[in-house]
Structure 1
């Protein structure tokens, strides 16, 4: 069972729209080594896990897989923000929708020569479950052998390859919106490399002679160095509300990255940052709601609604209804 907190796991820095960067980030979302792949692979491995004595390994897979859900949300939101707006369009709501506004460009001109035109045609300037070439994400990417060592080795390779690709995407753009998310994912990929490397070590696997690949030295990127200096590469969250995760039995000791840090699994989840909804884009046929719908929304909000208790667990049973006294006839 999963709960959703309406906060992003990391802040997305504001910058100009950049459709080309958005399309490059699609590889990190829906590509063979992207966030949708890691999310589905680890969750399926944890769902299909067998062997109660090996519960700490199941809990580790589940915790990382749950974090990957938030990474899908983060990178998808970043793509949407990179596509949100037309830098050269300076029109107003009174301008005809098919002409340049106030001396600017037509609203969707940049869709014709940058990035993936499907971002505009079918996704209303949002992320798609595809890679950077437009190929749909496939469940065939998911690896779940049923053998713990094989799965952990494959996961370590997956995180290493994903980090390599994100380092390449980082160097494809100077856009601050893109780089803020890419840098965070690079560091968290390293944390997950550490998780699977430590798990393999506890099983007697000498992975260090060949992995992790690559030796990226990504800390030379200033946004990455800032996060590494905070030790984010050595933290792993449980995302467990019941304090029953045993992943900390594995994610402990000196980091396999050999960077002098210790692994820390003591936090349930990161604090995150506020999540905001993008503004309407009337000129791009993403108008949001009209006056009639707004009136309905307000009417609903004015209704007396029962408060939802911010608690986890079973709802207390209500008192049984009292029986009415029988009438004397």
Structure 2
């Protein structure tokens, strides 16, 4: 089973909207080496895993796959924040919907010249399951061979390529919202590389001679260095409520990154940060729940409670 805590795994720093940066981040969400790919690949590998004696490897893959669900949520929310109010719309609830924004600005003008127009036409200023070119995410990206060394090697390549692309995304924008998420994912990709590299080492695979992890010098990025100084690149969470994960049998010892740190899989999950719902977007004709809808919802709830009271008696409050 999976449980959802209504928190984001990392803080998204507020900044101005940036639809071009949002579209770049779509590659990190729905691209061939994006977070939707890692999430689905690891979960399918863990679901299809065979061999009870190899449980620590299953638990490692499963734990990373579970974390990737939160990465999909994080990067998707970041894309929405980068699009939200682009350009800043100063309309009010009593404005006619066809009234341009303050100062005569056209509310969705940026959709014609920057980023992905589908973010506005289809997504109502929200993330979509596509890459930066607008191609839909494909299940054909998922690699699940059933052979443990092959899967681990492919996972290492996937994390290394994803980190490489995110380093490029970082250098495409100085937007604080984008960089706060990109930097976090760069460091967590390295943590996952370390896990798969260590797993391959336990199987006698000399991965360093076969697949050198790309050198990106990402530690020069201020936001990345702050996280590296906290040792976040050498931690892997279990996301296991009952303490049954055996991933720590693999995720231990000196880090394969050769940065002098020790791998640590003792934590269940990161602390997280509050998750807030974005404001309504009037210019997208997506105002949320107006008074009439709220009244209808309350009336429906009252009818349902009346049925429950009639069948089981009044519910104590």
- Is TM > 0.5 for Structure 1 vs Structure 2? yes
Instruction: Using the TM superposition, give the Cα deviation of residue 303 of structure 1 relative to its aligned residue in structure 2, in angstroms.
Output: 11
Instruction: Show structure 1 runs of 5+ residues with no match.
Output: 306-329
| Structure 1 equivalent of residue 286 of structure 2 | 286
**Structure 1's 40 and 106: CA in aligned 2 closer, same or farther, altered over 3 A?**
same
TM-score by length of 2: 0.92
Q: Would the aligned equivalents of 1:92 and 1:101 in 2 still touch at CA under 8 Å? A: no
CA distance in 2, matches of 1:103, 1:41: 48
Instruction: Using the TM superposition, give the Cα deviation of residue 55 of structure 1 relative to its aligned residue in structure 2, in angstroms.
Output: 0.4
| Structure 2 equivalent of residue 61 of structure 1 | 61
| Structure 2 equivalent of residue 126 of structure 1 | 126
| Structure 2 equivalent of residue 5 of structure 1 | 5
Higher helix share: 2
CA distance in 1, matches of 2:108, 2:258: 49
How many residue pairs get matched? 305
Instruction: Using the TM superposition, give the Cα deviation of residue 214 of structure 1 relative to its aligned residue in structure 2, in angstroms.
Output: 1.0
**Structure 1's 299 and 263: CA in aligned 2 closer, same or farther, altered over 3 A?**
farther
Q: Would the aligned equivalents of 2:18 and 2:86 in 1 still touch at CA under 8 Å? A: no
Instruction: Using the TM superposition, give the Cα deviation of residue 2 of structure 1 relative to its aligned residue in structure 2, in angstroms.
Output: 0.5
TM-score by length of 1: 0.89
CA distance in 1, matches of 2:102, 2:36: 41
Instruction: Using the TM superposition, give the Cα deviation of residue 300 of structure 1 relative to its aligned residue in structure 2, in angstroms.
Output: 7.9
Once structures 1 and 2 are overlaid, which stretch shifts more, 95-104 or 193-202? 95-104
Q: How does 1:20-31 map to 2 (within 5 A)?
A: 20-31=20-31
**Structure 1's 255 and 121: CA in aligned 2 closer, same or farther, altered over 3 A?**
same
Helix, strand or coil at the partner of 1:106: coil
Aligned Cα root-mean-square deviation (Å) = 1.7
1:166 matched to 2:157? The reply is no
1:81 matched to 2:75? The reply is no
Q: Would the aligned equivalents of 2:87 and 2:108 in 1 still touch at CA under 8 Å? A: no
For each residue in 1:32-54, what CA deviation from the matched residue of structure 2 results, as whole angstroms up to 9, or x when unmatched? 00000000000101111111100
Helix, strand or coil at the partner of 1:103: helix
Instruction: Using the TM superposition, give the Cα deviation of residue 103 of structure 1 relative to its aligned residue in structure 2, in angstroms.
Output: 1.2
CA distance in 1, matches of 2:39, 2:156: 14
Instruction: Show structure 2 runs of 5+ residues with no match.
Output: 306-317
